[in-house]
Structure 1
Amino acid sequence: MWRALASNALTVLVVGLFMVGGLILWGQSRYKDAGPLETAICLQVIGGSNMGDVSRELEDQGAISSAMIFRMAADYTDKAAQLKAGSFLVREGASMEHIIDEITSSGASTCGSEIEYRIGVTRIQTRVRELDPATLDFVEIASFDAAEDEAPATYTEKREDADTRYRVSVAEGVTSWQVAEALKGIDALTGEVSAIPTEGMLAPDSYDLTAGDDRNAVLQKMQDRQQLRINAVWESRQDGLPINSPEEMLILASIIEKETGVPQERGQVASVFVNRLEQGMKLQTDPTVIYGVTKGQGTLGRGLRRSELRRATPWNTYVIDGLPPTPIANPGLASLEAAVAPEQTDYVFFVADGTGGHAFAETLQEHNRNVAKWREIEAERQSSGN
């Protein structure tokens, strides 16, 4: 009898162990397999939430099949206490394993709202955007010029959201003074700008910010990135160029940057200035004259006067020989690369062609014909009011 009881108990124990093992395997499968979510969502985890709150929210939105398994998995992997506040993109079909990793890793929001400050040559634009989980595209919900417009309520609301992300984008061709002044007006930043960075030493690019970042730290990040670019590009330079240092490369790149906004023209524009330097010709480029007038503090806002073209300043390349003493703006990477790898041409002249680009010439006679065409275009535009 005791043997029979022991045998039955052993059988029950074995069956129970198999059932427990099966449940564990089933739970692991549910944890790792693709989830039921059909359309991506943006999950907001509010500060002070716990895994129980999050699991119920995910179950309600159809992102997971079992809130209980989700909580148990978070506890089992010791990640329940690592929950971060923020807004997180949960893609369609995301597994519980992936979701837990997403909400417990860096804490950086991957969806929700973003405020971007765009520093351009002529204006500073603030854009408020939200990620559409369905398309994974940012949708603009507000935009304004801080120098001219009052900040809309949407901007104020998003500034108060703890999980709003921030970004500052610097356009090619802006001056260091313009960047520093723009940063002074960004209310998400703190601290006073201690000094205007050296002209040309800020890398035009997009930079992630955190609310409360120090303005000087942001400027230093831009300088560090530009220095890395300068070092790398200088090492890749062609032999025999009429520039003798990274500083001269930076000056030439800044002139190229200000002379054309057409990417495919940069190599040709670079070739004109390289050819002129090699032949001992004056560069005769208007943007350097403008810099001599404004010192990089804003835009001129009008055409150059004849007196300004004749006025002697360190940057007036109609008067001085060779390169000016400093860059005239912050050049982007493409202009730096053009400065050390110009196209091989015999061009020594160029003028606007009316399409946004330029007409290039090897001889003065050919250049004069191009200038005459450009003046005809200008006259037509003035007569038609364009």
Structure 2
Amino acid sequence: MNRRKLLTGGAALAVTGAVGVASWRHATGTRSAYDRYQDDLRANLAQDPSVTELIRYATLAPSGHNTQPWRITAQGSEIRITPDFLHRTPMVDPDDHHLYVSLGCLAETLAIAGTATGRPGKVETAGTGLRYIYSQSAAKPDALFQAIPKRQSTRAAFDGREIPATVLAELADAVETPDVQLSLLAERAHIDRLRDLVLAANDDQMADPDFLSELLTWLRFNPDQAMTRGDGLYAAASGMPILPTRLGRIAFDMAFTGPAERTRYARLIDSTPCIAILTGKSADPASWIAVGRACQRLALTATTLGLRTSFINQPVEVARFRPDLADIAGTPGRRPDLVMRLGYGPEMPFSPRRPTGRVITK
């Protein structure tokens, strides 16, 4: 649900000239091919979709580093969601917090899409995962359902416009569960305090070679790599230039520096009119799943209101900053779970997804 900066556009153009346009395209793929790939991934559901199509929609949910750490089994009127621990990120998420939040995001998306297309049901815990048990009923599409293929994590600066009080109230109403507390920061002094915390935590991460090594494994530097892998952080989705994979790795080592990232995150947060902090009632997988469900409802609600969202979870991920984050959120003594930027901004290229055939197990 993050990151990062690679190479300046001028440097990328210089390398393009040296390599040759045809060779470059062969090594990277094209934006037009990626656009067609995304059109298929995010195609609207038919009036009576198959379960496989319903699962495709559910997997448009966000996940940490876009790892998509889930396996899905469908049998009868039950869809089971279980963790895929092969997609763990132990450096940034050693206790699998983000993994379980991601399962919650997927489950909420599935429930919204199921109700909208005539398969309403209930999400329940089942072992280390979840199950969605549904029945057949009349379709009830709503605004959140329509927002599913449009939602994205926008890793770009917002335009700085303030969010009206009426819109903030709708965002607050989106998190209806007593299991999750939503704290909305809309005053600049509070946002500045949060910014300083994010920057300090980001400095810690940038000084950790294991964190950087793990991050690199999830970066996708070009359309071909993103489509082939179907996961990870697509460079163009962060406004970065497309590079052949080998050159992208070199550029990462050269240009991805602590000072550059500090400047970039300061700019992102300074352009942000509202920040949401979500805090569950306890620090365990069941609570993290509940936070994920609330997070997805908030993100989809924001999308219906014309807002963009993205995550700035550094002070969650670096444990020593959590108490200060809890104080900012007004939840002292508790562990905050997620930090989200909300604002008005551009649509960016969408992140990749693995095809349902690689997600559904028999």
Q: Which has the higher helix share?
A: 2
* TM-score normalised by the chain length of structure 2: 0.24
Determine which structure has greater relative contact order: mean sequence separation of CA pairs < 8 Å that are 6+ residues apart, divided by chain length. 2
In our comparison, the structure showing a higher alpha carbon Rg is 1
* TM-score normalised by the chain length of structure 1: 0.23
